[in-house]
Structure 1
Amino acid sequence: MEFIPIYYKDSLTIINENAHIGVVTLWSHKQAVIDKFKESGVDLSKTNSPIAVFGTLYGNGLKHLLANLLYNPQITHVLICGRNTGESLQLLLNFFGKGVEKVVNIGVSCNRIIGTSKDLPEVLYPELFRNPPDVTYIGQETDPDFETQLQSYLKNLPNSFNKPDAVEPERVKIDLPEIAPSYFPSNPRSHTIIKGTPLEAWKELIFCLDRFGHMVELEPDKRRKELQNVKVIVEDPIEEDDVSLKPFGFSIAELKEYQCKVKHNIVEGDYTYGNRIRAYFNVDALTVCVGKLKKNPQDRRSYIVLWDPRTDLTETTRSSPCLATIFLRVYDGNLTLSATFRVHNAFDAWLKNLYALMAIQRHVTEHTCIPTGPITVISHSISLNPDEGYEKLQMVINQHGNFKFEADPNGQFRFRLENGQIVAEHIYNGETLKVYRSKKAERIQYELKRDRAISEIGHAIFIGRQLEKAQRCLLTGEAFKEDP
């Protein structure tokens, strides 16, 4: 049976296409291993060599290697020799030695190799191999006893087809599927969004939920994409016009109506936000906070709680507020507002609730004459139903492709070469904060990370490009010119 690779043909070195040994070099250079085989006297002729093929294995190529082995069952022995980096060696040994177990990763059902963190497509599992190959590791080609190990291996090599339980080899063709994750990997509790206006913040929130949210089943037939503890900061919480709002199903009139309802709806016995803030606990918390801030703008007790554990925690039949706390604080001369929500419906409720918080903040500003600042909203559980808001979702996703420069609030950098070193100058509002110098770009990279000097991912990528360019110019002697 002729060796015919169906994956990575150009990356393999085929020796004798009718032989039965496949050599895996792990992270070692293929040619270095081949040269060592030649030095050891191994026959590598196209007609007589017992070696069919040499190939590397970096981990991600394991599924392709296994698919090639299934299609070429005449490879009865897999000889592993090379530098083992990561878990490449263990992956191959465990696949045949321990098997796989069913798991779900990024919303996709797959087979995880037991004893490792490696996932394979569901179509790959050890039982597909009618005659599993013998897998042997003899060390790295640079080991002192490598030649002895290699010659001993080849001298004592049995033929798998002579085994009593061997069956007639048959090609098995596996088409490896494209991964279609239901969400993209991230820490689902780490997302922070910083935008200028309410609508821009809402659109970024929807995008993040769709891309990174995990599917959860809240109750039968009620599935949602959910993230936890999402933090959204709106730097300039101003009201927008209908031209901006209406394409996404909002109107300024409806949002203003909701603002009034939250501020003034204090019907006795009602659980609404207005009642919880201004009457429920026998105190008008908003009025008290205004008095505190007028008396002492640096007051840190202007903290409003809407959650009543006596009923909200114990009575499951009644409605409970989603808004849990509001904190009013003067920071850098401006009135900031921070709010926490127990749960949030991202499509319909998040923007409405933000507008309600804007009204509360403006009410305090009007009575204290303290200018408004940013609003921060933390949603402990925020979710959306992608089916119910499909048109809104697609509009947000399509608009997200519009690339726009966003300044890094941590400052900017200028780069130059000086006295045989790369110089990175950290600048904020035209003033130099710190100068980083090194002959190696990698050193400056680590120092910037240590100092948390970068906060915006686009800015980090730009800085990486400049450091790489400066390093290249330093080595070649060409003139360095910073990208605009």
Structure 2
Amino acid sequence: MEFVPVYYKDSLTIINPNGHVGVVTLWSKPQAVIEKFKEAGVDLNESSSPIAAFGTLYGNGLKHLLANLLYNPQITHILICGRDTGGSLQHLLNFFNKGVEKETQLGITSNRVIGTSRFLPDVLTPELFKSAPKLTYIGSDPEFKKKLNDFFDNLPARLDKTEFERISVELPEITPSYFPSNPLSHTIVKDTPLEAWKELIFCLDRFGRMVELEPDKRRKELQNVKVIVESPTEEDNELLNPFGFSIEELRDYQSRVMSDIVEGDYGYGNRIRAYFDVDALEVCIEKLKKNREDRRSYIVLWDSRTDLTDTERSSPCLATIFLRVFDNKLTLSATFRVHNALDAWVKNFYALMAIQKHVAELTGISAGAITVISHSISINPDEGYEKVQMIVRQLRDNFKFEADPNGQFRFKIEDGQIVAEHIFNGEKLGEYRSKKAERIQYELRRDRAISDIGHAIFVGRQLAKAERCLQTGEAFTEDL
């Protein structure tokens, strides 16, 4: 039986198709490992070598390796060497030694290799292997040559058995319910309320985790989402109407929020201006008039006496408001206990704009950014999803440039080194120098010099280009 790879044929280095040993080089380049084998005098002849093929194991390659082994049961020994950068070694060892268990990832039920974070399609299990290959790890330490020779000196001859049976496994395409992210750390920064809201809906659709709040009530949820709007100004109906909003409706909501009249079980204006026997807005205004650096202009709407204990009545979603002068601008930060992203977020944000405007006018302080932190924010996948998909399509087709608030970079080659100059508002803040792009990459990360992923990708392209030009001697021209 000859070695016939089902997956990654072009990425494998085949030595002897009739061999019964597979060499896994983990994160090391196969050619570098092959050179070490040659130095050790290992037989690499295409007709006599016991080695069928060399291949790496990084990224998501474990499932392809296992499928290839099932289709080539004559591979009775796996020799593992090279750098184990991503934990691939343990994934492979644990699959055969400990097995797998069912677990859900990205909303899909899969097989997780026990003792690891590696997931495999549920069509791959150790039980499929009638006779599991013997695994031998020799690493890449100073004893490598000796261990290598010991392995081949003690390697049994190839078994010539007719009962070898190829098992063909088709690896399924994955359709995740959501994409991987840290669901507790999403931050959105935009200039206007509507642009921020659209980005918020996009993130919820892509990264939100499905939760069952109660029977027949499910939501796509993220937690502790922070949205910063740097220029919180009204938008006109031409922008609002396509999404089901109108400026008239939003202004009406603003006036109701500024009122101290109770609406239903509670009212935001009532909680702010009357419920606790104090008009908190007026108190904050007086504090800021007396001291622009005051940090006690903090308003709490949540009443634990009733909101925490009386589950029969509704309770406020808006929990706190913090008014603070920062960089000579009046900023407002608000926290929401729960948030309906599709229908309520824009209305709530316009309400915060009204509160900020009221305080700004009476204190004479220019209004600045508004920050909204939503502890639990969600969309209903069973209602209004046509609007969600419209927003998602718009953003996927939008490749608008957005400047990185951490500054920009200019690149050049000077004195045999790559130079990355850190620029902010036309001024040079410093520079990074090295012959290696990788070194500058790590220094930029250490200094948190880049905050935007698009900018980071651009910087990476320029560093790679500069390093290539440094090596080849060709002239370097920075992309603009």
TM-score, scaled to structure 1: 0.90
Equivalent residue in structure 2 for 1:426, among 419, 422, 425: 422
The two structures, once aligned, show a CA RMSD in angstroms of: 2.6
Where does the alignment leave 5 or more consecutive residues of structure 2 unmatched? none
Q: How far does the alpha carbon of each residue in 1:201-230 deviate from its partner, in whole angstroms, 9 at most, with x for none?
A: 000011111111111111112111111111
2:289 aligned with 1:333: no
> Which structure 2 residues correspond to residues 332-481 of structure 1 after superposition, within 5 A?
332-400=327-395, 401-481=397-477
Partner amino acid, structure 2, of 1:153: N
Q: Which stretch shows the higher mean deviation, 289-298 or 118-127? A: 289-298
Q: Counterpart of 1:297?
A: 292
C-alpha displacement at 1:128, in angstroms?
1.4
Structure 1 residues not aligned, in runs of 5+:
162-166
One-letter identity of the residue aligned with 1:90 = Q
CA distance in 2: counterparts of 1:28 and 1:362, whole angstroms:
60
* Cα deviation code 1:244-287 (max 9, x no counterpart): 11111111111111111111142399411011011100111112
CA distance in 2, matches of 1:291, 1:139: 70
**Cross-structure match for 1:164:** none
8 A contact 1:344–1:382 mirrored in 2: yes
2:249 to 251, 254, 257: 254
Establish whether residue 187 from structure 1 lines up as the match of residue 179 from structure 2: no
Measured after TM superposition, the shift of residue 402 of structure 1 is 0.9
Asked whether the equivalents of residues 40 and 147 of structure 1 are also in contact (C-alpha less than 8 Å), the reply is no
Which residue identity is paired with 2:10? D
Aligned residue type for 2:363: T
CA–CA separation in structure 2 for the residues paired with 1:412 and 1:425? 8
Corresponding residue number in structure 2 for 1:144: 145
Cα deviation, residue 169, structure 1: 3.7
Residue 324 of structure 1 and its aligned partner are, at CA, apart by 0.4
User: How far is 1:464 from its partner?
Assistant: 2.1
Instruction: Determine if the alignment matches structure 1 residue 230 to structure 2 residue 229.
Output: no
Range 133-142 or range 365-374, more displaced: 133-142
Task: Verify the 8 A CA contact 2:192 2:232 in the aligned structure 1.
Answer: yes
Do 1:80 and 1:139's aligned partners in 2 also have CA atoms closer than 8 Å?
A: no
Residues 268 and 280 in structure 1, CA contact (< 8 A), matched pair in contact too: no
**Paired amino acid for 1:56:** T
Alignment of 1:28-427 (within 5 A): 28-31=28-31, 36=37, 40=41, 42=43, 44-46=45-47, 50-58=50-58, 60-75=60-75, 77-86=76-85, 87-138=87-138, 140=140, 143-154=144-155, 156=156, 159=159, 168-267=163-262, 270-400=265-395, 401-427=397-423
Displacement of 1:308: 0.4
Deviation of 1:81 after TM superposition, in Å, equals 4.0
Give yes or no for contact 1:290–1:368 (8 Å, CA) kept in 2: yes
Q: CA deviation at 1:108?
A: 1.9
Please state whether the residue corresponding to 1:144 is helix, strand or coil.
helix
Measure the CA separation in 1 of the matches of 2:408 and 2:57.
41
> Structure 1 residues 44, 329: closer, same or farther in 2, change over 3 A?
same
Instruction: Tell me the SS of whatever aligns to 1:367.
Output: helix
CA distance in structure 2 between the partners assigned to 1:448 and 1:16 by the alignment:
46
Please report the TM-score for the alignment, with normalisation by the length of structure 2: 0.91
- How far the C-alpha of 1:147 sits from its partner, in A, is 4.9
What's the CA shift string for 1:49-102, capped at 9, x where partnerless? 554444333352221121122222333x12314214133333222211111111
Deviating more after overlay: 206-215 vs 439-448: 439-448
How many residue pairs match? The answer is: 476
Q: Which stretch shifts more, 371-380 or 291-300?
A: 291-300
Contact 1:24 / 1:78 at 8 angstroms: preserved in 2?
no
Residue deviations 1:331-354, cap 9 Å, x none?
A: 222211110001101001111100
Contact 2:272 2:300 in 1 (8 A): yes
Equivalent pairs: percent with the same residue? 70
CA distance in 2, matches of 1:66, 1:477: 44
Structure 1's 475 and 136: CA in aligned 2 closer, same or farther, altered over 3 A? Answer: closer
